[in-house]
Structure 1
Amino acid sequence: MAKTHPHIDSPTREDLLRIAGERPLVDVYLALHALVLETLPDVVNSVDEVDASIGYAARQYGYNGWGMAAVTPFSKWVSLTIMKGAELDDPEGLLGGTASMRHVKLASVDELEGKRDGIAALLLAASRAHA
């Protein structure tokens, strides 16, 4: 039997702390989510209550059910995955990976702050890429 993965639409900070609060790097996870919302204030978002992954822009900005991006906490980093990241200009070289999906891995809030403008630019570009 497959596990179910319930979601919460537009989760609050308290929702995210409840779901991801025991995981390492929750401060990076919350700060990255805040940056996404600051950059794209009207973005549709939903958190998976099992794996704490936050999906952004499903069926918005011309994206299908998978959406535009996701923030996922792992034990040693928090990943911002951009679903069609290979299609974006990345002048700061932030995106890793070799497939259509690309990611930015962050291991500290300081690292996030150092890459803040570049990440915001990637999010804006992704939001316009399929509009």
Structure 2
Amino acid sequence: MAGLHFELVSPARLLFSGSVASVTIPGTEGEMGIYPGHSPVLTTLRPGVVTVTRDGGNAERIFVKGGMAEVNPQGLTLLAEVAIPMAELTQDVMARQISDAEAQLAEAKPGEATRKATEAINQLKALQSTL
């Protein structure tokens, strides 16, 4: 079976482009495993870790904070607001991400925006505790 073409792009750089066995993404509604031949889907991303499994079985993990994912017949494209390889993710980087999210919460209007900002902070703190 042919591999899955995968691209991960952030405003800062192209982090990944190539054929893989599978990709696990942190969708807003939960973790999603994407494999070759997956049905088309469009979803937003929550803060979390993308796991890219290469054809040989080696896995690469990349932190993403927000964005969207599209699966179509050509493959999977992730457009992330922030994307940082886990090897580059430090406590200082996570503290900066949490601080940015807290600033967004302070500016959020009551209601759905406040709920989403609070949820993002909780997800970032949970990820920070795993470092």
TM-score interval, smaller chain: under 0.3
Which protein has the larger Cα radius of gyration, Structure 1 or Structure 2? Answer: 2
Whichever structure has more strand as a proportion of its residues is 2
Q: TM-score with structure 1 length normalisation?
A: 0.27
Whichever structure has more helix as a proportion of its residues is 1
Q: TM-score with structure 2 length normalisation?
A: 0.27
